[in-house]
Amino acid sequence: MLICMQSTSVRVDVVTHRSLKTIAETLDVSVGEAVRLAVRGLRQELMGAELTEPLSAEETAWLDAELG
């Protein structure tokens, strides 16, 4: 089944493009898929960093609130 997906262009320098092509070939995916995977990984990394930050006083109070 062919899925038609909208796309756009992103300008990168030659060295970055070469790196993306190498990664894509290593993973046996397209350059676009390699970028998608990289963005997903970065998003997960940022989310993980946010989750390790200490809770604010408001968040702690909300979590400690009595139900009822």
Tokens for 27?
Answer: 């993973």
pLDDT of residue 66: 86
pLDDT tens digits for range 10-55: 999 999 999 999 999 999 999 999 999 999 999 999 999 999 999 9
Amino acid 6: pLDDT: 84
CA 57, CA 7: separation in Å to the nearest integer?
Answer: 43
The amino acid occupying position 29 is: V
Q: CB under 8 Å to 34, separation ≥6 — which residues? A: 20, 23, 24, 27
* Six token digits for residue 38: 């990289």
